[in-house]
């Protein structure tokens, strides 16, 4: 059983990228270090990091299964600095390329067999709505990198934000719409959009998502930081609209580290305050996945599952 069961409702709890108490350690490196190495030793080092990270993904899923965690967000750094302009590389450049592919496919099979959903959440540099062509081009490249990993592991979701405002949200949404078409259709099929904590609310994104067929990931913490006048109930149902039947919606939750009355509501706390979980969600008639964004990682997921079963 990978889902929390509350009455008839099934909530699938998700962990983001890392564990604090499990023997799962993802390695990384930096472009400035790689630049000092010859091409051969550079590729050797990267190959061994990527292979180890792929094995760690398997370990991560085994741990998730044991804990009843039903979704896992894979770190964008699984293959470090893959799209860097100077030290970027391709999987086929590696001595261990086939071994890495096999390891990632096995992780994907394990996820399917154990009903664990996989996703990616590329970071803040991926901006499809930027007025700067170079930023858009880099973002497209990075999304294609994410797609490669998603294809190997079977991850169904690549979740991004709309981007900056650049003085006009309406114009920026229009640019997103145009630039989105530049993505290969296989990549587009995995993209979701999430409301953010400073600019784009569920109301801002709903029309675009409906038109382009992009599922809207509802982050209730961001909605509280960056409200649009909609109640949580209304925003939830607006986001659910964008997920076609049979596709399980994603929600995100977190609690503010310094409390709701502080100047800084955005930083994430170690754990989720159960009071921040919208009671309305317990009455939904649809199953959903809830990614828990909390610093205590799997401990926070386990605590929230326990708190909600009371």
Partner DNA sequence: GCATGTCAAGTTGTG
Partner DNA sequence: CACAACTTGACATGC
Q: Where does this chain bind DNA (CB under 7 A)? A: 16-18, 25-33, 36, 45, 49, 75-77, 81-85, 88, 123-125, 127, 130-132, 134-135, 138, 142, 163-166, 198-199, 257, 263-264, 266-268, 293, 295
Question: Minimum distance from CB of 53 to DNA (Å)?
Answer: 9
Question: Minimum distance from CB of 208 to DNA (Å)?
Answer: 17
Question: Minimum distance from CB of 55 to DNA (Å)?
Answer: 13
Q: Rounded CA gap, 171 and 257, in Å?
A: 34
**Chain center to CA of 298:** 16
Question: Minimum distance from CB of 6 to DNA (Å)?
Answer: 26
Instruction: Considering the complex, state which of residue 115 and residue 264 has its C-beta at the smaller distance from DNA.
Output: 264
Nearest to 189 by CA among 166, 171, 213, 220: 213
Question: Minimum distance from CB of 109 to DNA (Å)?
Answer: 25
φ/ψ bin of 114: left (φ > 0), alpha (ψ from -120 to 50), beta (otherwise): alpha
Instruction: Considering the complex, state which of residue 31 and residue 210 has its C-beta at the smaller distance from DNA.
Output: 31
Question: Minimum distance from CB of 159 to DNA (Å)?
Answer: 12
Answer yes or no: are the C-beta atoms of 102 and 51 closer than 8 Å: no
Q: Rounded CA gap, 157 and 215, in Å?
A: 10
Instruction: Considering the complex, state which of residue 15 and residue 305 has its C-beta at the smaller distance from DNA.
Output: 15
Instruction: Considering the complex, state which of residue 5 and residue 123 has its C-beta at the smaller distance from DNA.
Output: 123
Question: Minimum distance from CB of 230 to DNA (Å)?
Answer: 19
Answer yes or no: are the C-beta atoms of 159 and 217 closer than 8 Å: yes
Nearest to 159 by CA among 118, 194, 127: 194
Answer yes or no: are the C-beta atoms of 255 and 276 closer than 8 Å: yes
Question: Residue 308: CB partners within 8 Å, gap ≥ 6?
Answer: 4, 6, 11, 274, 277, 282
């Amino acid at each position: 059983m990978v889902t929390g069961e509350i009455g008839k409702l099934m909530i699938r709890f998700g962990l983001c990228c890392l564990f604090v108490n499990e023997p799962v350690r993802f390695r990384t490196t930096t472009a400035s270090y790689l630049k000092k190495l010859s091409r051969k030793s550079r590729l050797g080092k990267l190959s061994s990091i990527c292979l180890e990270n792929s094995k760690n993904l398997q370990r991560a899923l085994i741990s998730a299964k044991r804990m009843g965690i039903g979704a896992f967000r894979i770190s964008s750094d699984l293959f470090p600095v893959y799209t860097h302009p100077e030290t970027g590389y391709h999987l086929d450049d590696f001595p261990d390329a086939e071994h890495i592919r096999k390891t990632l496919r096995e992780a994907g099979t394990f996820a399917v067999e154990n009903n664990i959903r996989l996703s990616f959440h590329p970071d803040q540099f991926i901006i499809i709505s930027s007025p700067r062509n170079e930023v858009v081009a880099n973002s497209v490249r990075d999304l294609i990198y994410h797609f490669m990993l998603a294809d190997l592991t079977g991850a169904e979701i690549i979740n991004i934000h709309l981007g900056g405002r650049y003085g006009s949200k309406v114009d920026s949404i229009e640019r997103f719409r145009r630039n989105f078409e530049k993505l290969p259709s296989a990549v587009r099929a995995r993209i979701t959009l999430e409301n953010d904590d400073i600019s784009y609310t569920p109301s801002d994104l709903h029309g675009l998502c409906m038109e382009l067929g992009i599922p809207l990931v509802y982050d209730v913490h961001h909605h509280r930081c960056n409200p649009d006048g909609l109640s949580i109930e209304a925003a939830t149902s607006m986001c659910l609209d964008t997920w076609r039947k049979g596709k399980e919606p994603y929600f995100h939750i977190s609690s503010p580290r310094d409390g709701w009355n502080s100047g800084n509501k955005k930083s994430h706390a170690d754990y989720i305050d159960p009071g921040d979980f919208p009671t309305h969600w317990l009455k939904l008639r649809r199953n959903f996945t809830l990614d828990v964004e909390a610093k205590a990682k799997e401990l926070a997921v386990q605590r929230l599952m326990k708190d909600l079963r009371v």
